[in-house]
Homo-oligomer: A and B are copies of this chain.
């Protein structure tokens, strides 16, 4: 059986990577990677769906066993991507989608270089600014900082395999799906095994 592929999607805040991921999960058979965290669950969150909620000790244990594809600390709370459920999906032939910031993606790349790394870009800096402002959550100064961070993050594009410009959402999703479909057609061990099957079929026939 063909094994699945891990698709790692990153992009600056405002690139729309989250929306693209949600659409990919609903429009393909791919599974969404679920993170592990030491923060407390919020009332609307479900264990194993929103996150795996664990204690600091449990988190530390998984780190020690090399059981995370990446991890980080944010405001004293720890977040990471458990390797085991991802590998289980891939071995069962199912693709997995992981939405993560650039720093996390670079950790994943070191720990799982077979992943397919996709960078989501805004169509322009003006549009990125408009999107960030439209959320209404940031001061002028914060918007300026976010745009600066976006530019620094985009310098990492060279480390990615594909880039998708999220101007029209439907087009961006279609491009991501084309990437997934094409990656599934790459010549790999499955292709070589198929030829072997044909050879055996011919010998019998």
A-side residues, CB < 8 A to B, are 119, 121, 124-126, 129, 147-148, 151, 154-155, 157-158, 160-165, 174-175, 177-179, 181-183, 185-187, 191-192, 194-195, 198-199, 201-202, 205
CA gap between A174 and B177 in the complex, in Å? 12
CA gap between A199 and B175 in the complex, in Å? 24
Other than the given A163-B185, A178-B178, A182-B183, 13 more pairs (CB < 8 A) read A119-B187, A126-B201, A148-B202, A160-B187, A161-B187, A162-B185, A162-B186, A163-B194, A175-B181, A178-B182, A178-B185, A179-B185, A182-B182
Shortest distance from the beta carbon of A174 to any chain B beta carbon, whole Å: 8
Asked if A191 and B178 make an inter-chain contact with CB atoms under 8 angstroms apart, the answer reads no
Residues on B with beta carbons closer than 8 Å to the beta carbon of A185 = 162-164, 175, 178-179
CA gap between A160 and B188 in the complex, in Å? 10
Most buried by B among A154, A163, A182, A183: A182
Give the oligomeric copy count: 2
Asked if A192 and B151 make an inter-chain contact with CB atoms under 8 angstroms apart, the answer reads no
Residues on B with beta carbons closer than 8 Å to the beta carbon of A182 = 162, 175, 178-179, 181-183
Instruction: Identify the closest chain B residue to A198 (Cβ).
Output: B125
Shortest distance from the beta carbon of A178 to any chain B beta carbon, whole Å: 4
For chain A, what secondary structure do more than half of its interface residues adopt (helix, strand, loop), or is it mixed?
Answer: helix
Contacts A/B (CB < 8 Å), 25 sampled: A119-B191, A124-B198, A125-B198, A125-B202, A126-B205, A129-B205, A147-B202, A148-B202, A151-B195, A154-B198, A155-B195, A157-B191, A157-B192, A157-B195, A161-B186, A162-B187, A163-B191, A165-B194, A175-B181, A175-B182, A175-B185, A177-B178, A178-B182, A181-B182, A182-B183
CA gap between A129 and B205 in the complex, in Å? 10
